[in-house]
Structure 1
């Protein structure tokens, strides 16, 4: 396929400045893009923002270059003025190039280019290198020294690309180039398109860029492909079985004998020795018994250190650090979600990684504040519509927060879910989430989606069945859930049979719903009872409830602080009368951007801000925050009573 002139010109400029690189030019192009500023050529230093994962990570921070590819998408003049599109500019990564741009063009998406010039931390030819992107939105193409090395589709989950040894400059400057396209389509996760009025649709703001950190990983012949340390607890007084499964890859050119060791707490664990052929994989498995384990729970989040080390001879060539906790999470025959054998009735917060000035590319201070504010509200669970940043997972493990871990298969229309490729991409998203986050004890549910059709047919049933089966194959120790739009007319659905947990997104008394069926909040108790009758053996969770508020006013007027406070008191009061509920999640902790022309049911909205948040975008707590705090703190969330 013929490369577009814009792409060819950009690559030509990138390659020309890299000594020895082969320029990938298009003869039709005569005018190169604006010359880039001369960045500092940096040697990354060993370091990491989050602890768990492979050692020998080098954070690619410092100076990056960025430019928008305005010619390719023909952006309107207003958007051009708000963003630096006339040439290259110095930036840092992570970054959202439209972090403060709330225009329609910003939501629609565009193409951006990033460039990083760096030297390798070692000249030794013994080492291989991998580049790791924690999250890029949405389609990525990566070049090293003018040559393509990989692509990716998706966001919110990491991907890695091996940097071919033949392209690396061991003693010179390496040029990494990433083309990012954040234009969204109905087949993406989450999907996007245009409304009847031509406004972009989507469940949250479409931030473009390299939105989480980038690492360079150094590999000394052996690398970790999969690391699974899975504690299995069959009863609260039982010994725990800790199941190890570690897959190594030999990047070297000859076979090597590798010894793999670990420890679990203070106990040493020998995982054995194997010969691994060049470019081949080997799996190491072992199960150990922990007789009197200290259990992890939100009230006592005890963690066991379980680092893994690979040795060739006496030399440690690869390491993987992690902490995990011993705990059980399951649904009993009476449809209750049990943590360590006790019934849960958690109270949670929905969250989005969003910031007034940083957009999605939030920093560690914002992540810590999110966790702090969640705990101060009395909540003990986090739910997002996508996998959260790995640092948030670590903080949740350490501080005793539960996580409803969901993939962004959100509101995908049946006509697109019907396509085999879309289902395959969803399956890949689920697998990646489980493999990435399986060692965190805070994760209690694998959610396979959110608000697909409220009346699922054969297509959705097929997807849910396959997704649930895949999740249980990858991790049989956690229940599988899914969040549905709560409408009485939906009735009982057999397509939900493969699920363990059903999340109900209910907005009785806020949105009218189809034909006004949820306009009257007094119908909520009856509706919840009908859900229980439909699914008596499944755990039922209120996965969303909330009301917008941006001003003071009459309690009966939607959009006022008084209405929001009354709303949360009523709904939480109803939940308290349903002893079979396993939890409830307020949507959301803090305000975030949704899309242009968003009103959220508020007669006086502040588009594009989702103002159901209990805390404003600028950090001010609304009166309803304290109502939620009072009721959350007054709820027995961890089952001092019997598991009915």
Structure 2
């Protein structure tokens, strides 16, 4: 496909052999090439105009001995398999001996060839590479980046009609080292270019990081918009941003003040408009406006946004002035055989699963991809978004100055990436805090970032998750600046799974009431609850499908009965890959003889292959009385 004159030339070979698995092995000289039109419209709609996805084919090769750089791989001199990007190099098997080897990680090299029709500047953007990405163009080092789910980009100077060889090295070895360096993850160590890569021509001015906030006033909406404008020209000049919000036949002009910028300088400009009788975004009615910003003839940003107001009144969560109760299931970006390199069909299936159980909300421990968030925007599904580092329950590894700085920068990067999405309603800074925090560095991180987010993004909640078995008796300073607190509650699973149903029911009710007493005046949700289930266990015993269904129904009924609880999110929507030595955690000691699928977290209400478990129907019925979650305040 041709688009805006850009062309991808895929590196080919003298010898091509088709593997049994369906991939293509490419070997031979760099001088022999076949041309393939593979710069396609990006998966994500929102962003700077002119972007194209560099989907491939790419040539991918593993480097188990770390000899690639010495062998000239950086210049593109290596054979391999033809793949499309996004791609995970070690997702074929996550369990058993093969899963152990895959989880330990490795090095994957990727190459493709870009040809530009005109000499000029381009932005090459990677939405995510795990874990350490090193990038070369024509054998020249562009730079490196560490950390998945965090976008990064390079400015390139491409010569007209000259094939340019692009090479990426993804190093995802040593998960234990990643953890010590502040990159712990509670899911499988998937390595590769796991989100899309895009290329766009750079204009003399660029628009970056737009923001939008809605405050309702009677039947109208006051909408504040800002954007960072950058002057890329060689001379100082005045730039004037303009824009529109459109919905149906309604069009609202956005007029920004002109700003004079020196070469290379940037400045944020802001404007406010009143939208009369807006079409508001909410679960059940996810109205979206076409959002367009431009410096005429130069930088342009297109997106779809929702006008909605999130606020709280004490412990009551309000959306567009109505009481909101969240109900749904958490998700991981993980598809069988593809890992976190999701296809559009994978994303559609995840959203369909949420809709199938009647969810109005989901939760994620890591920043979600833009095309998945756009689907959640369109579906009217709210997102309780984890930002910053992820640790094991009760742990805090970002306890040095350098790691604390990294943790803060990770929060900022995710917020910049996601803040236009109406579905995102909360930034969750820490997962499963023990008591009043691990140490002073964790407390400082939370308080610093909560205050910063309230200044820079006042239209969302700031939240923490507290580790259910170890809540504080009295809420300490770590909770002082947050709006909301989530509770992970595994009563009936990690806690007393063999107790009678009556005992579990009573313990759930008591723990929930205790939670509300500990955090008066905060928005409260139960952000994690559930149980493993697989067919190897007796149906009604812990680990069986019937037990999982009953326990989820019991949790949901308890939380629905306590008015101070504003949300309940099942863990998890689907089974997902974890460390191959994960065998269910402490449940093995609580329930001797239980069968746990090593290497998979099977708390999903859908199996790893997407098939619904009986719990999916049970959860749908339990959520049904909540409807879209909105009611009179």
SS across alignment from 1:549: coil
Contact 2:309 2:459 in 1 (8 A): yes
1:173 counterpart residue number: 163
2:518 counterpart residue number: 534
Measured in 2, the distance between the counterparts of 1:348 and 1:61 equals 33
Measured in 2, the distance between the counterparts of 1:353 and 1:366 equals 9
Residue of structure 2 aligned with 1:226, choices 186, 205, 209: 209
Deviation at 1:411, TM superposition (A): 1.4
Residue of structure 2 aligned with 1:464, choices 443, 446, 454: 446
Measured in 2, the distance between the counterparts of 1:533 and 1:67 equals 56
Aligned CA distance change for structure 1 residues 279 and 192 (closer, same or farther; 3 Å): closer
SS across alignment from 1:307: strand
Residue 114 in 1 paired to residue 96 in 2? no
Residue of structure 2 aligned with 1:422, choices 391, 403, 407: 403
Residue of structure 1 aligned with 2:256, choices 265, 271, 285: 271
Deviation track 1:515-545 (CA, whole Å, cap 9, x = no partner) reads: x9x9956322111111111111101101011
SS across alignment from 2:45: coil
User: What are the residue-to-residue correspondences of 1:375-524 with 2, within 5 Å?
Assistant: 375-407=355-387, 409-411=389-391, 416-456=397-437, 457-487=439-469, 490-494=472-476, 495-512=478-495, 522-524=506-508
1:214 counterpart residue number: 197
Measured in 2, the distance between the counterparts of 1:112 and 1:579 equals 51
Measured in 1, the distance between the counterparts of 2:232 and 2:144 equals 21
Measured in 2, the distance between the counterparts of 1:388 and 1:416 equals 23
1:12 counterpart residue number: none
1:337 counterpart residue number: 317
Contact 2:328 2:357 in 1 (8 A): no
Contact 2:245 2:289 in 1 (8 A): yes
SS across alignment from 2:134: strand
Residue 130 in 1 paired to residue 123 in 2? yes
Aligned CA distance change for structure 1 residues 319 and 301 (closer, same or farther; 3 Å): same
Residue of structure 1 aligned with 2:90, choices 91, 95, 98: 98
Residue of structure 2 aligned with 1:141, choices 127, 134, 138: 134
Deviation at 1:367, TM superposition (A): 0.3
1:581 counterpart residue number: 565
Aligned CA distance change for structure 1 residues 368 and 280 (closer, same or farther; 3 Å): same
Aligned CA distance change for structure 1 residues 90 and 498 (closer, same or farther; 3 Å): same
Measured in 1, the distance between the counterparts of 2:471 and 2:41 equals 54
Contact 1:260 1:309 in 2 (8 A): yes
Measured in 1, the distance between the counterparts of 2:447 and 2:114 equals 46
Aligned CA distance change for structure 1 residues 132 and 591 (closer, same or farther; 3 Å): same
Aligned CA distance change for structure 1 residues 44 and 57 (closer, same or farther; 3 Å): farther
Measured in 2, the distance between the counterparts of 1:429 and 1:513 equals 37
SS across alignment from 1:463: helix
Deviation at 1:87, TM superposition (A): 4.8
SS across alignment from 2:280: coil
Residue of structure 2 aligned with 1:630, choices 586, 608, 621: 621
Aligned CA distance change for structure 1 residues 284 and 192 (closer, same or farther; 3 Å): closer
Aligned CA distance change for structure 1 residues 523 and 301 (closer, same or farther; 3 Å): same
2:143 counterpart residue number: 150
Normalised by the length of structure 2, the TM-score is 0.86
2:292 counterpart residue number: 307
Aligned CA distance change for structure 1 residues 483 and 513 (closer, same or farther; 3 Å): farther
SS across alignment from 2:43: coil
**Relative to structure 2, which stretch is displaced further, 407-416 or 560-569?**
407-416
Measured in 1, the distance between the counterparts of 2:137 and 2:290 equals 37
Aligned CA distance change for structure 1 residues 244 and 635 (closer, same or farther; 3 Å): closer
Measured in 2, the distance between the counterparts of 1:283 and 1:455 equals 37
1:9 counterpart residue number: none
SS across alignment from 1:423: helix
Deviation at 1:354, TM superposition (A): 1.1
Deviation track 1:421-479 (CA, whole Å, cap 9, x = no partner) reads: 11111111111111111111111101112124445132221111112112222201111
Contact 1:191 1:410 in 2 (8 A): no
Give the CA RMSD over aligned residues.
Answer: 2.7
Measured in 1, the distance between the counterparts of 2:177 and 2:323 equals 38
SS across alignment from 2:87: coil
Measured in 2, the distance between the counterparts of 1:240 and 1:489 equals 39
**Relative to structure 2, which stretch is displaced further, 520-529 or 442-451?**
520-529
Contact 1:190 1:410 in 2 (8 A): no
Residue 160 in 1 paired to residue 143 in 2? no
Residue 241 in 1 paired to residue 222 in 2? yes
Measured in 2, the distance between the counterparts of 1:101 and 1:239 equals 53
Deviation at 1:220, TM superposition (A): 2.1
Deviation track 1:375-418 (CA, whole Å, cap 9, x = no partner) reads: 11111111111111111211121121111111252216756321
Contact 1:549 1:612 in 2 (8 A): yes
Contact 1:251 1:278 in 2 (8 A): yes
Deviation track 1:226-285 (CA, whole Å, cap 9, x = no partner) reads: 22232233x5x2532221211122223233443321012212222243343322223322
1:60 counterpart residue number: 54
Deviation track 1:495-525 (CA, whole Å, cap 9, x = no partner) reads: 21211111111110101399x9x99563221
Measured in 2, the distance between the counterparts of 1:433 and 1:259 equals 28
Contact 2:129 2:194 in 1 (8 A): yes
**Relative to structure 2, which stretch is displaced further, 549-558 or 352-361?**
549-558
Structure 1 residue runs of 4+, over 4 Å off?
34-39, 41-44, 184-193, 412-415, 518-521, 552-556
Contact 2:430 2:465 in 1 (8 A): yes
SS across alignment from 2:441: helix
Aligned CA distance change for structure 1 residues 410 and 190 (closer, same or farther; 3 Å): farther
SS across alignment from 1:551: coil
Deviation at 1:138, TM superposition (A): 1.3
1:183 counterpart residue number: 173
Measured in 2, the distance between the counterparts of 1:191 and 1:595 equals 18
Contact 1:596 1:607 in 2 (8 A): yes
Contact 1:43 1:119 in 2 (8 A): no
1:559 counterpart residue number: 543
Contact 1:553 1:562 in 2 (8 A): no
Residue 293 in 1 paired to residue 283 in 2? no
Aligned CA distance change for structure 1 residues 62 and 274 (closer, same or farther; 3 Å): same
